[in-house]
Amino acid sequence: MSVKGIQPIVSEYHLLWEALQHYQERLEKFSSMSTDEDQQLKYDEKLQDMDGLLRSIKLAAKNDYQLDLK
């Protein structure tokens, strides 16, 4: 993330991490509450993308600042 793009500072990593976790929780809630299979599939696809994004951010924070995001 920081190699070619932006290089967030520590506080920005924390803010981004918290915001993405909050969004992930909302997607999980919407997915579980949805009665429409197509809509549920869209939520689940976004959740898969979110998992990859969270892993990327966690790795970048570790590489840039030895920061362990949880």
- pLDDT (tens digit per residue) in 44-60: 999 999 999 999 999 99
Distance CA 59, CA 69 (A): 9
pTM, full prediction: 0.83
d(CA 16, CA 1): 13
pLDDT < 70 stretches in the chain: 1-4
Contact, 1 vs 56, CB < 8 A? yes
Q: Residue ranges per domain, the chain?
A: 11-65
H helices of the chain, in order, are: 10-33, 37-65
How far is it, in rounded angstroms, from Cα 46 to Cα 4?
24
